[in-house]
A and B are shown apart, each in its own frame.
Chain A
Amino acid sequence: MTGPALFPRLTPSNHRVTSPPTTDYNCIAWSAGDTDRWWEPGVYWPVAGESYGLEVLQAAFRSLGYEPCSGGVLEPGFEKVALYARDQFYTHAARQLPSGKWTSKLGRSEDIEHDTPDDVAGGVYGDVAGFMKRPVTSG
């Protein structure tokens, strides 16, 4: 599914494909729980701004109730996202599942479930640049 240069840490045993490919939404939308839109600053984004760096991604999730946190360890009562950056661009966001594993939409390709945030880092997405969390709301 993915080349070793693009995802050098993904292995057959640490991830599973969970959807067919689609251009309808991207990883940012997926992490925010939206499968109808491709989130893009200046086009569809929860806060104003047309930059494409990590700060605009952090601002987007902050507007959704997330605050920076120290890591991706599962914390009962909270949901977390991992944010990725490479060079001057934000590159990716992954969302923690209630199981403690993570889910990512890979560009216009598939959704996957992966064991740790680091599994999709080290290649095309660069490194994990930070984590954010918010309280889980009932209902």
Chain B
Amino acid sequence: MSVASSAQVPTAEMRNRFGRLSAEWKEQSRYLSNTAQMAMLKPYQRIIGMGWPAVPLILEELRREPDQWFWALEAITEENPVPADAAGHVRRSADAWLVWGRDRGLIT
């Protein structure tokens, strides 16, 4: 399935749901360092379960505050635009995903 056909404009309800789940995840994962442990938290799993409509919302959040959203983005999109030399660099990884999102018209 292509990005163009699978991506959807998130509805207001989706935005509200994402905002709630994102806040819950940030609170629950605040003191965690193990990315797998962070990704297993229910709010994060529910965001992954939202599928492609969550992608622009995650990218907007990533632009606002770089954080460990890369697991979710990879899980949903099955892509990883982060260059090898940026692996582990949170801000450079975020920048790579933002470029990826702009190139596909998912964010402005």
CA distance in complex: A24, B31 (Å):
14
Interface-forming stretch among B4-12, B50-58, B82-90, B100-108? B82-90
Size category, A interface = 20 to 34
> Is B31 within 8 A of A107, CB to CB?
yes
> Is A89 within 8 A of B37, CB to CB?
yes
> Is B37 within 8 A of A52, CB to CB?
yes
Chain B residues in 8 Å Cβ range of A2: 31
Q: Nearest Cβ distance between residue B67 and chain A, in whole angstroms?
A: 5
Chain B residues in 8 Å Cβ range of A40: 35, 88
- Complex interface residues of chain B between 14 and 68 (CB less than 8 A to chain A): 29-37, 65-68
Interface-forming stretch among A11-19, A31-39, A129-137? A31-39
CA distance in complex: A107, B67 (Å):
11
Binding site secondary structure of chain A: loop
> Is B89 within 8 A of A108, CB to CB?
no
Chain A residues in 8 Å Cβ range of B70: 43
Chain A residues in 8 Å Cβ range of B31: 2, 6-7, 106-107, 109, 124-125
> Is B36 within 8 A of A89, CB to CB?
yes
- Contacts A23-B65, A23-B67 given; does A108 touch B36 at CB 8 Å: no
Q: Nearest Cβ distance between residue B13 and chain A, in whole angstroms?
A: 28
Among A43, A93, A107, the residue within 8 A (CB) of B29 is A107
Chain A residues in 8 Å Cβ range of B91: 24
Q: Is A26 an interface residue (CB 8 A)?
A: yes
CA distance in complex: A24, B92 (Å):
10
Best-surrounded residue of B34, B68, B90 (most CB of chain A within 10 A): B34
> What 3 pairs across the A-B complex have the smallest Cβ distances?
A44-B88, A37-B88, A26-B33
28 contacts between A and B (CB under 8 A): A23-B66, A23-B90, A24-B91, A29-B88, A36-B88, A36-B89, A38-B35, A38-B68, A39-B88, A40-B35, A43-B35, A43-B88, A44-B87, A52-B34, A89-B34, A89-B36, A89-B37, A91-B33, A91-B34, A91-B37, A105-B33, A106-B31, A107-B29, A107-B33, A108-B30, A108-B67, A108-B68, A109-B30
